Amino acid sequence: MTMIADAGPSLKAQAESLFKRKRLLNFGLPAVIVAYFVYIFFSFDIAGLAERASFDNARTLVADSYSYKTHVTLDDRSDSIVIAIEGERKGTYPEGMTPEWVTLTETGLVAELGRGYRVVYEGARVFFDIPGYGTLEAEPSRQGVDMVFPSGGMEDQPDWINASKNRLAVTTDAGRLTVTRTRAELFKYQFGWELFFFTLESPFHGRSFTELVGLAMSDERLVEGKSNAAAMWHDFWNNAMWRHSEVAWAIFETVLMAFLGTFGAAIVALPLAFLAARNFTPVKVLMFGVRRVFDFVRGVDALIWTIVLARAFGPGPMTGALAILLTDTGTFGKLFSETLENVDDKQIEGIQSTGAKPLQRYRFGVIPQITPVLLSQLLYYLESNTRSATIIGAITGGGIGLLLTQAIITQKDWEEVSYYIVLIVLMVMAMDTISGWLRKRLITSDDSGV
């Protein structure tokens, strides 16, 4: 402080001002951050979010993603029993065929759910044996659901039993039973994606991997006119439940949307970037106008362009590709023009000294300089647009995004949602690997020894 005092009043005042600003920064900034988080807590109703959260629903959703449920339905109107995977007609067991835990009887069936849980359909009446609770009886009828509990009345049952005059719902770890005025339906969850490879109609359903390998190598023909290997591929590729052929085509559409949109934008943006670069466009008004066009098309998000173009051209993958093209034209235009403004003029002058024309100077003096940067940006956006094409496809009605949205909207087959998400992740990983390989092959200099 003595040195500052001796230096004069001006230097002393500057030091005191700097000290005050530093102290304000040390104490003021944390206070602003704390105030901001307090604002978020009340503005976004964090406390109410905890109250609204339903962990039971979340647990059910997670379980649905890696398991499947079998519906065992007793229809009181037709007096028939139907057993189906996920309740779909395409997964309905043929007459006389049942899962191993279901046994048909003369009057109905017996479903052994495990750990002592058992459901018996006897005529129109349902019996549910629950360990530690007893046997619950119910029968659908037009007047309501006739219920008999082991003890107590309808209102005195545990939380996992929801009973009213017209509906009974019993939820246990072994399975769920729902009885209404017209039907009784048992839901049993099991681990895995059932019928992923072969449906119930396929002669290869239910066979072990060893059996399938043996059949593929055998001269025996389970399907007339086809080898077993060809028949297996046909049944897998045309699986009516999981629709593998449709999913593969949807993946191709998604990648195609990203490819056409990204490279189309690069083709459009590169010549326009010369007009937006200060060192290539002497007419400032033209440069200003082109830059504002770039700002406009990239300022509107690709999803907004998707909605606008879908109204103009109708749904389809090409509409999604055009939306990506519009947005990336603005982005590439800005990136390319900034790259052009940083080129080395000496190389251009060297080409010009040979008597090269303007187009030749650009071709041999400019393009080689900017190619590594342009390719790097192009490959990165191709990878990024592969993810974006998933969401855009959900709006335009194309690609894997459409299948994913349809599966989510149904709120039924969440294992299909998991399947599509896994495929999307694998698709992005594949695009990342391919773009990295291309970047290494195309951009890395030959002098590096690669």
- Tell me the pLDDT tens digit for each residue of 374-424: 888 888 899 889 988 998 988 887 889 989 888 888 766 788 889 999 999
pLDDT for the residue numbered 86: 87
Q: List residues bridging with 121 in a β-sheet.
A: 109, 126
**Are the C-beta atoms of 431 and 386 separated by less than 8 Å?**
yes
Distance CA 53, CA 72 (A): 31
pLDDT for the residue numbered 449: 44
pLDDT for the residue numbered 225: 83
Residue 225: partners with Cβ closer than 8 Å, 6 or more residues away:
none
pLDDT for the residue numbered 76: 81
pLDDT for the residue numbered 38: 81
**Are the C-beta atoms of 147 and 163 separated by less than 8 Å?**
yes
pLDDT for the residue numbered 5: 47
**Are the C-beta atoms of 69 and 88 separated by less than 8 Å?**
no
Beta-strand pair 176-180/183-191: antiparallel
Kindly state the tokens that stand for 285.
């008004």
CA distances from 130 to 3, 151, 154, 177, 184 (A): 88, 13, 17, 11, 17
Q: Which residues of the chain have pLDDT under 70?
A: 1-29, 349, 356, 411-412, 443-450
Distance CA 344, CA 91 (A): 66
